[in-house]
Chains A and B, each alone.
Chain A
Amino acid sequence: MKKILNDLYQHKKLSKSQAKKILLEIAASQYNEAHLASFMTVFMMRPITVDELSGFREALLELAIKVDLSEYNTIDIVGTGGDGKDTFNISTLTSFIVAGTGQKVAKHGNYSVSSKSGSSDMLQSFGYEFTNDESILRSHLEKANICFLHAPKFHPAMKAVGPTRKALALKTFFNMLGPLVNPSSPQNLLLGTFNLEIARLYHYILQDEKSNYGIIHALDGYDEISLTSEFKVFTKSGEELIYPEDIGQKRILQTDIYGGDSVTTAAKIFKNIIEGKGTKAQNNVVLTNAAFALKIIDANRTFDEAFSLAKDSLFGKKAAQCLQQLITNC
């Protein structure tokens, strides 16, 4: 590790295979906390490269407890978090709306790092019990069209860096890896990032793969389509800058999608929206994200078609039924 660190201090880059090897060694607890903290700091002092991120990702996927859901055509809808915006759980709500349209969702999630409530916080507050049992996850997909993959259950390797990350309490490259390491390797991905640099990195990594994907970054900082500003979308076919007005939406205020300062408040807002009782702004944000998710799965759909499918799921209480099914069957 000393040799590698000395090279990195001189601003040398790691190859993909070097990056992978080091992360495998880190996961095997081969380094002390000081070395780990120093290693993580290197990538805060300079941008991480595509090869480095890609190598770290390969290591984590190799060590993950994998689940085979390949006979379903699933989508994951997840963001890096860390946008510091404290919104309500937009990607989790989006997931249930998409599930309500009949599309299978394999959502990867975790407790919150930055906002007050992550998808795991939310589902736990509704009484959902995390599991990595493949047969249970399959039955959730059958009955509720959605299964939830709580990251710590699938990535035991991350335990080796838990204490250092906690002690640092700063955003490290590990925060960028979450959305890239869904242990069921879904065929479709709608990912959000807290900055454009990460969106580009994701784009370069996913370009070489089979999955359909969309990567979102709203230019005012959100890691999802917020409708508070224009947003960037990267897909297999390139990149686009979309204004809310382009898709027939009204621009909304940041306060319209605030999620409160506790899990309890966020859960209340969540329940309200999923029961179809959200404000117009709240509804339009989740429906727009759901429409983009549906367009990723089937690029031939127009935005308006996808949006009305999403509306039918939300206001026809189908999304709410999926949540109900998921919780009662766990």
Chain B
Amino acid sequence: MKKILNDLYQHKKLSKSMAKKILLEIAASQYNEAHLASFMTVFMMRPITVSKIL
């Protein structure tokens, strides 16, 4: 997660498959609360892309 967050802080985008993979991991409770809050904040700071929603 740290690597993904660091990439996102640099305004990199997630691919559709990456986004899916991360959400599956989140659903499996693999991340702590701080990382989740930070991950969600990223998408409040910039628009989400189509490939992530689909």
Contact = CB atoms under 8 A, between A and B. Distances in A.
A251 interface: no
Contacts of A168: 34-35, 38
A46 interface: yes
A114 B39 CA distance: 22
Interface in A1-58: 5, 9, 11, 33-38, 40-42, 44-46
Interface string B16-45: 000000000000000011111110111011
A9 B40 CA distance: 11
B interface secondary structure, majority = helix
Nearest to B38: A41
Interface residues of B, number: 18
Contacts of A42: 41, 45
19 contacts: A33-B33, A34-B33, A34-B36, A35-B37, A36-B37, A37-B34, A37-B36, A37-B38, A37-B41, A38-B40, A38-B41, A38-B44, A41-B9, A41-B41, A44-B9, A45-B41, A45-B46, A168-B35, A170-B2
8 nearest A-B residue pairs (beta carbon): A167-B34, A37-B37, A41-B41, A37-B34, A9-B44, A34-B37, A45-B45, A44-B9
Interface of A: 5, 9, 11, 33-38, 40-42, 44-46, 164, 167-170
